[in-house]
Amino acid sequence: MARGSSTRPTSRDVAQAAGVSQAAVSLVLGDKWRGRVSEATAERVREAARDLGYRPNLAARNLRLGRTRTVLLVVPALTTEFFAGVYTGAARVAADHGFGVVLYPSPEGIGPARDPFASAQAALDGVIASSMAADALTAIRGDQLPLVMLDSDPEGSLGAATVNLDITDGTRQVTQHLLDLGHRHFLHLAADVPSWTFDVRARELTRRIGAVPGASLRTAPAPISIEGALAATETALRHARPHPTAIICDDDKLAAGAYKALRRLGLRVPDDVSVTGMDDLGLATAIDPELTTVRLDAELFGEHGMRALLAVLEGRTPQEGDIPVELVVRGSTAPPKAS
């Protein structure tokens, strides 16, 4: 069939284009091919389906399966691009398996929320939720559905599975970078959000800096906003003794607020104070000097979350292991000035 034809392509067309049987097409597009056809064959079928613009008849398929093939992604209010990336990754994997993803930002970032469905249990097959928006799950009864938690304690999560970025290693990388530069007095600009991921960062910072003789760590909680970070940084720096030579921020937006506070106080980055972030948002290269930060691959995070939920729905064990993260060193960090 020529691309651009007005006739809707069928599974038979996909089978012919891929050089396989219709049964193989059904297995691959239904994500039941593992152990039955090879990875190379599965990829050939998916490529043929994409090239032809093939879309399965989901209405008929859902009647057979007794599923809606719809997943809810619950995230904090979309105040940064990070969770947009999580959605993009989850939706990409979902589309390859005939699922749709509904994005549900929890009001005010955290806290109770109204059920957006007449019955979530009837409308959804499963839920992927950030631990930063976990309170919303109760209101929508998402904890009664197959559930995968993102950035959540593997030992005490609500979900059937957890998917985490290696935040402990990210914190280790950024702390070691600053220690290697010679910094010993630190301010932790901590996200004022009750979440496991931020608890992990605080504990790892305390542990690593506490193990260095003569090092000090002061913590200043701040809402994840530039103005909130500005106020928290100004207050902390006016009262901190000894004066910190490096500010470690839980988020790139907090780092931007720290930049503004330092300029108001007549201090320069990194000449007087080094600053680091976490996430590697677009903001990290928009500020001057560009921000040293830990790159968290949001799209990969979303992909892993969706794959874990598919595994739960099919009775398989999701892939284990945290997603690696990477320190990106830019112009905001330098050795401290001599006293």
pLDDT at site 68 = 75
Residues 137 and 218 in one domain: no
Residues 81 and 159 in one domain: yes
Q: Which of 98-102, 137-141, 310-314, 322-326 has the highest mean pLDDT?
A: 322-326
Residues 104 and 36 in one domain: no
Tokens at 59, concatenated: 């209405």
Q: How many domains does the chain have?
A: 3
pLDDT at site 132 = 77
Q: Which of 36-50, 79-93, 160-174 has the highest mean pLDDT?
A: 160-174
Q: Look at residue 123 and tell me whether its pLDDT is greater than 90.
A: no
Chain centre distance of CA 235: 30
Whole-model pTM: value is 0.76
The answer to whether residue 327 sits within a structural domain is no
What CATH number does the domain containing 116 carry? 3.40.50.2300
Q: Which domain holds residue 82?
A: 67-163+298-321
Amino acid at 332: S
The answer to whether residue 333 sits within a structural domain is no
pLDDT at site 59 = 45
Q: Look at residue 5 and tell me whether its pLDDT is greater than 70.
A: no
Residues 154 and 239 in one domain: no
Close Cβ partners of 108 (under 8 Å, ≥ 6 residues apart): 77
d(CA 99, CA 95): 5
The answer to whether residue 105 sits within a structural domain is yes
Q: Which residue has the tokens 């290269």?
A: 285
pLDDT at site 142 = 57
Q: pLDDT of 168-187, one tens digit each?
A: 999 999 999 999 999 999 99
Q: Which residue has the tokens 């985490």?
A: 164
Residues 147 and 220 in one domain: no
Residues 303 and 289 in one domain: no
pLDDT at site 107 = 59
Lowest mean pLDDT among 17-21, 23-27, 103-107, 291-295: 103-107
Residues 282 and 215 in one domain: yes
Q: Look at residue 112 and tell me whether its pLDDT is greater than 60.
A: no
Looking at per-residue pLDDT, the higher value among 258 and 41 belongs to 258
147-150 β-sheet, strand order: 100-105, 70-75, 126-130, 147-150, 161-163
Mean pLDDT of 271-288: 96
Q: Which residue has the tokens 């402990």?
A: 168
pLDDT at site 140 = 62
The answer to whether residue 27 sits within a structural domain is yes
The answer to whether residue 231 sits within a structural domain is yes
Q: Look at residue 119 and tell me whether its pLDDT is greater than 50.
A: no
pLDDT at site 320 = 87
d(CA 325, CA 301): 11
d(CA 198, CA 191): 7
Q: pLDDT of 172-229, one tens digit each?
A: 999 999 999 999 999 999 999 888 899 999 999 999 999 999 999 999 999 989 999 9
Q: How many CB atoms lie within 10 A of CB 88?
A: 15
Residues 112 and 83 in one domain: yes
pLDDT > 90: percent of the chain: 51
For residue 104, the SS3 value is strand
The answer to whether residue 181 sits within a structural domain is yes
Tell me the pLDDT of the chain averaged across its residues.
85
Q: DSSP per residue over 202-221, as a string?
A: HHHHHHHHHTSTT-EEEEEE
pLDDT at site 143 = 59
d(CA 108, CA 136): 11
The answer to whether residue 330 sits within a structural domain is no
Q: pLDDT of 47-87, one tens digit each?
A: 988 888 886 654 444 434 446 788 989 888 665 689 999 99
Q: How many CB atoms lie within 10 A of CB 324?
A: 13
* Radius of gyration of the chain from its Cα atoms, rounded to whole angstroms: 24
Using alpha carbons, list the distances in angstroms from residue 152 to 112, 130, 220, 283: 18, 7, 23, 25
Residues 143 and 183 in one domain: no
Residues 242 and 193 in one domain: yes
Residues 188 and 205 in one domain: yes
The answer to whether residue 62 sits within a structural domain is no
Confidence band for 108, pLDDT divided at 50, 70 and 90: low
pLDDT at site 246 = 98
Close Cβ partners of 214 (under 8 Å, ≥ 6 residues apart): 184
For residue 158, the SS3 value is coil
Residues 97 and 38 in one domain: no
Reported as type and span, the H/E element at residue 89 is helix 82-96
Q: Which residue has the tokens 């290697």?
A: 180
Residues, the chain: 339
What CATH number does the domain containing 15 carry? 1.10.260
